[in-house]
Structure 1
């Protein structure tokens, strides 16, 4: 087709009109983006959005959340803080964020107890708490959990029989675990059952952590009465010697087997074979999406049986020692005997639940107390697993500890001395843009010559 001046003018007008319409569309979309926001996280590990646990916590916080950020006027630094908080703001529209420069308002920073650059003051229903950088979703969401707990029910623990102390500092005590419970909004109490007429019923649960001497019959009866009234229980066993608590085991349908778990795979981790590593978690709210490794030194096999009489629904929580066994002989010379020992895997923890009146009743029994001791609680996911159990017993299923999301797409491993790094850098920065430019010019030239 022969192009004359008139046709060329018509094509020019058409192209110009198209460009004007396109620019108008871009302007309208830009204007609309101020009031309407749509985002989709396409990263492999969804690291720009919140976990389901965090979303559940926000759903249970109906009142506004006010956050004051004490940071300098560095735009780049504030932009990073905004990117972190925006993940929460997208799910909770009444989360208000205010920025304050501590250098300009030092008195306000002092009153807020600010100790570091970028520290946050999070306020909810007249309660507030500070969060210092670096910011992690787990820390931020746990802070919101603490602020949302308006009724602090006590975690009661039995003592006076050589138990592991929830506020103790000795290596076998549970002090570090107790301090973390307090950080998450719980309070600790130790009722003296030799003086009180009964176990207080206003607590969240009773913790029995490995007594070393027999619990008196009077105290045992008070514990049974507490359980019969629907009380929750966390029982950490030391061995098959129940120290006078056999009636409690009978009430729960619990059997504790003699012997110690031996895990030969522990040697591959540089640990003693008497330290059992988790092999398989059961299906339960405590272990849902729980992927952290836990270890249990000198664990015991336990089993619970739900019956029509007791009404318990039993769930197995942890199996260990898939490459081990339950050693029933002497631990001085560890050797598997197929006549007396039991091959793994071995179950060492159970969760029990039943309906009592108008409310539910829950119990968790673990054939090991060492895993929450000051010596071992910081290993792997021991702390998180213990806190998950306490949250479940307290009825805070939605407040199960938020686990860090593994980021699969943030690091690229390049061998030292490899040419991959300069090739990738130069390719994406120079070669690819030039290639696209040449391809565009070539296509334009072909169409012009057609």
Structure 2
């Protein structure tokens, strides 16, 4: 019995020692959460993989306790994703000089370092961490320049029609935004990565148009997002880019089934195979959009990256009410229609081709629509491509699918009837029935 007992104890000790050795030498993890919530998204994984020249260092200035454990759990997905990521913790009480220099508060912060550059963040979700990595990977001296002075959509405009949300998203991707009024400038800045022309409402001066054409002729990248109607002096630019604006507004007859609320809200569900859209898998929405057509012999390689469905049409008449009908005799044109054109051409003395893009809608990037379905990812992918950051295209981290609630007017009416009428009547009926049953007893 003693020998058997001793052998059992020896086996237990051996198993415990082996388990300890294995836990120190080998590491394995599995993510069984819905949607792999504890694993980096493919977009973030591409960002981490691209930063392979030096180690990515995370230094977390967090006091010991439960908050440090939560931060460790969130950042562990990055250390699991790459051996190139290092995570260390520092007690703020023991490093007062660094804490003061970084402006760290009581809640703590994480400093991310790469190639001698640093970013400090206080929100540790994947979107913020990946955005910081994006900023570290960018050169930081290239601007996204928005044309201003003619009623264009502005990056500092916080109304529904403004572009402040887009500007914040671009900043999160390491792209600096600026507004330029050509009347006050001698030329477009040399460090302009992309010139944005977003739906001017007043005519540009001939000299301003010439400056834009000179910028394009010199190899500059441009994004022209405009709506149906007048071009306000930019017709020469359309000729320079080799595009034509078709007359009319895109109509979707199935808007009631889809719950968009208006027939002139166009949807794009299937994307052509282009670098801009190859990783997009969500619908995008384009309110009151127009259509484009390429010009032959323009010198550009033109590819449609946004096209409407076959059931849509281009309405050339006035958009009044919701009872529109397709009338080819009146000039209406059946879909699919092109909403977005990507343009490329070779330039002498340059290793990479010049890029430009034209979109027949400016609303899809506005504050009121950028967070609708896949619009944000599409907009960021478009800017990444134009800026030549192909490795970072579509790296906008997808938000949780249950983070927002969008209801159609029909849903709101149904809920009103349910909670304001049906539910109270049901309670009254239930109480009446119980009262009647008790009286019968």
The TM-score bracket by the shorter chain reads 0.7 to 0.9
**Greater CA drift, 147-156 or 228-237:** 147-156
2:226 is aligned to 237
Change (3 A) 1:349 1:41: same
Cα distance in 2 for residues equivalent to 1:181 and 1:209? 15
Of 322, 332, 336, which aligns to 1:341? Answer: 332
Task: Show the counterpart of 1:251.
Answer: 240
Report the Cα offset of residue 204 of structure 1.
0.1
- Residue in structure 2 matched with residue 98 of structure 1 by the alignment: 88
Query: 1:41: Cα distance to partner?
Result: 5.5
Bigger shift: residues 177-186 or 358-367: 177-186
Counterpart position of 2:371: 378
The 2-side partners of 1:296 and 1:319 are apart by 11
2:103 maps to 1:113: yes
Q: 1:370 to 1:44 in 2, by over 3 A?
A: closer
CA distance in 1 between partners of 2:191 and 2:127 (Å) = 29
Q: Cα distance, 1:124 vs. partner?
A: 2.9
Give yes or no for contact 1:263–1:275 (8 Å, CA) kept in 2.
yes
Contact kept in structure 2, 1:201 and 1:226, CA below 8 Å: no
For the pair 1:156 / 2:150, whether they are aligned, the reply is no
Matches within 5 A, 1:197-236: 197-236=186-225
Q: 1:279 to 1:292 in 2, by over 3 A?
A: closer
Distance 1:191 1:406 in 2: 36
Match of residue 58, structure 2, among 52, 67, 75: 67
Q: In 2, Cα distance between the equivalents of 1:335 and 1:181?
A: 38
Report 1:348-427 matches (<5 A): 348-356=339-347, 357-400=350-393, 401-404=395-398
SS at match of 1:142: helix
- Single out whichever of 57-66 and 236-245 deviates more from structure 2: 57-66
Q: Larger Cα Rg: Structure 1 or Structure 2?
A: 1
Change (3 A) 1:18 1:148: same
Contact 2:135 2:173 in 1 (8 A): yes
The runs of at least 4 consecutive aligned structure 1 residues that moved more than 4 Å come to 16-30, 38-48, 101-111, 405-408
- Match status 1:327 vs 2:315: yes
Structure 2: state its 5+ residue gaps.
403-441
> In 2 relative to 1, CA 265–122 (structure 1 residues): closer, same or farther, beyond 3 Å?
farther
TM, length-normalised to structure 1: 0.76
Distance between the aligned counterparts of 1:353 and 1:257, measured in 2?
A: 21
- Residue equivalent to 2:304: 316
Alignment coverage as a number of residue pairs: 394
Shift of 1:385: 1.9
Residue 265 in 1 paired to residue 254 in 2? yes
- TM-score, normalisation: structure 2: 0.77
Of residues 122-131 and 138-147 in structure 1, the stretch that sits farther from structure 2 once superposed is 122-131
Cα 1:145–1:261, aligned 2, differ >3 Å: closer, same or farther?
Answer: same
Is 1:171–1:374's contact at 8 Å kept on the other side of the alignment?
yes
**2:154–2:164 contact (8 Å) kept in structure 1:** yes
The Cα offsets for residues 327-346 of structure 1, whole Å up to 9 and x where unpaired, read as 11111244213323223343
Measured against aligned partners, the alpha-carbon deviations of 1:371-400 in whole angstroms (never above 9, x if no partner) come to 222332233332332122111111111222
The answer as to whether partners of 1:152 and 1:185 remain within 8 angstroms in 2 is no
User: Any conservation in 1 of the 2:242–2:300 contact (CA below 8 Å)?
Assistant: no
